[in-house]
Amino acid sequence: MPSHAHSRTPLRGVSSVLVLLALALVALIVGPLSPRAVSAQTAAWVDTGGDSLNMRTAPGLAASVVYSLSHGDEVALLGEEAQQDGFTWLRVQHAQHVGWVAGFYITTDPDEVQVIANVTPPGGALLAPPVGGLTTGLAGAADLDALVARQEFEVLSVWHFDIASQRLLQYVPGAPPFVNSLAGIEADDVVMVRRAGTLGVRGVLPEASLTVAGTPKVLPTPPIGGLTQGVSGTTDPRFLVQAQDFTAESVSYFHVPSQQWLVYIPGAPDSVQTLLQGQMLVDSVVSVRRGPDAPRPPSSEDSDYFETSITYYYCVPGENKASHGDGGGYCGGMANGETVHEGAAACKPGLLGQRFTIEGDPTERVYECTDTGGSVLQDHRDIWFMHSDEGYAWWLEVGERAFIHILD
């Protein structure tokens, strides 16, 4: 399943040419733009998969931005909607802010809002596990007794994996010092805490999601064959692997409600992967095992012909829901100051201005790195399309990975 792999603010203004074309089509097909009434004062929520959503002064991508809504924000529908630029626009209110938003990113069912981060319990405690189960997270305190006291359940033991020594250390509250191999922690250390009791009922495993949110974290480098730990920063294990400064052999994620380990193995077939896109959250703790240092494959730094991952992003969502990925609305300015256009590509910042072709591309276009984003790493290329259906059909033909040729 394709997805754009970087976080930019959606629903920004398009170029004057696109705006004029859109206005002309609206005038010819549906007549002058006229908002129509819908049920007023209905509660709704922003569901962008992690990106922000622009509130505008009027329906349409050319209207000025008055406020930026966040994923999960609650809004009130004020009873008007309009069609413009391929979107259904809704007039909404959030706090003192009133304006128009693209209805594609609004839902009236809060249960449909995709979760991208754990909800931190009061007082900064860790996510409570089932009785007798384990939970994991950042310690949040530089004192073991303080960490234990902050939990909303009885703590049986605290564990911390020391990356330098590759040892798992434990602390048992109330035990004599010679029993405890873990004597102290830092607030940003990853810990695993066992809840007292006998493990019984467990929650269900999370399903895979189209949501790709966040920016992957670069974790401390372990010795070859060793483990490292940290917060993922992203919902996609593939991008987490790409961000590391070492060869990642596997990514493991402990899902607290179900008390199960999920594993992603780079290069393995989908049938053996238990950790899929969207199953972990942006603040999930992960363990990454370092593999043998493989010969460095050709890249844009030393070759003009190499293989890399390919995705797409888009402005307007099409009719095929499979093409929507984690959301569109990328209709305005890019990192180089230009407005999005055919042939634009998002690449890592150091590659801005680079021109290239993609082997097997049915359009035979020449692309240029004109945009960037937090999750566009190494030589990954994210190609822009006006409509998601067009991008999806193109991506199915080109594939998840393809060889690209850098032009002079």
Residues 107 and 33 placed together within one structural domain of the fold: yes
pTM: 0.74
Alpha-carbon separation of residue 110 from 72, 90, 287 (angstroms) = 8, 17, 31
- Using alpha carbons, list the distances in angstroms from residue 87 to 11, 32, 336: 10, 15, 26
End-to-end CA distance of the chain: 32
Q: Which amino acid is at 171?
A: Y
pLDDT of residue 36: 43
- Domain boundaries, position 138: 122-195
**d(C-alpha 338, C-alpha 369), whole Å:** 11
How many CA atoms lie less than 13 Å away from 41 in the CB half-sphere? 0
Structural domain includes residue 371? yes
Whether 141 is covered by a domain: the verdict is yes
Q: Give CA–CA dist 252/301, Å, rounded.
A: 31
Both 126 and 76 in one domain: the answer is: no
Answer yes or no: do 55 and 80 share one domain.
yes
Q: Would residue 172 count as lying in a domain? A: yes
Spatial neighbors of 29 by CB under 8 A, at least 6 apart, are: none
Asked whether residue 144 falls in the same domain as residue 108, the answer is no
Does residue 173 share a domain with residue 139? Answer: yes
Q: Are 146 and 182 members of one domain?
A: yes
- Are residues 66 and 133 both part of a single domain? no
Chain-centre distance for alpha carbon 226: 27
Q: Does 144 lie in the same domain as 93?
A: no
Distance CA 50, CA 388 (A): 18
Please choose, from the candidates 136, 77, 117, the residue with its C-alpha nearest in 3D space to the C-alpha of residue 101: 77
Looking at 160, 195, 230, the residue that finishes a domain is 195
Establish if 293 belongs to a structural domain: no
Asked whether residue 87 is assigned to any structural domain, the reply reads yes
Query: Structural domain tally of the chain?
Result: 3
Residue 373 lies in a domain: yes
Predicted local confidence at residue 53, as pLDDT: 87
Which of helix, strand or coil describes residue 268?
Answer: coil
State residue 167's pLDDT score.
96
Pair 388, 327 in one domain: yes
Question: Is 328 inside a domain boundary?
Answer: yes
pLDDT at 239: 87
What CATH number did the domain enclosing 101 receive?
2.30.30.170
Question: Is residue 290 within 8 Å of residue 221, measured between CB atoms?
Answer: yes
Q: Which residues, at least 6 apart from 153, have a Cβ–Cβ distance to it below 8 Å? A: 128, 129, 131, 195, 196
Q: What is the rounded CA–CA span in Å between residue 190 and residue 283?
A: 12
Q: 335: domain CATH number? A: 2.40.40.10
pLDDT at 6: 38
Write down which residue in 140, 164, 195 finishes a domain. Answer: 195
Please check whether residue 215 lies inside any domain of the structure.
no
Between CA 134 and CA 154 the distance in angstroms is 12
392 contact partners, CB below 8 Å, separation of at least 6: 2, 312, 318, 320, 322, 323
98 and 126 part of one domain: no
In the chain, which residues have pLDDT < 70?
1-41, 326
Answer yes or no: do 144 and 92 share one domain. Answer: no
Q: Are 135 and 193 in contact (CB under 8 A)?
A: yes
Using the 3D structure, point to which of 65, 86, 112 is the last residue of a domain.
Answer: 112
Q: Are 393 and 293 in contact (CB under 8 A)?
A: no
Do 325 and 385 lie in one domain? The reply is yes
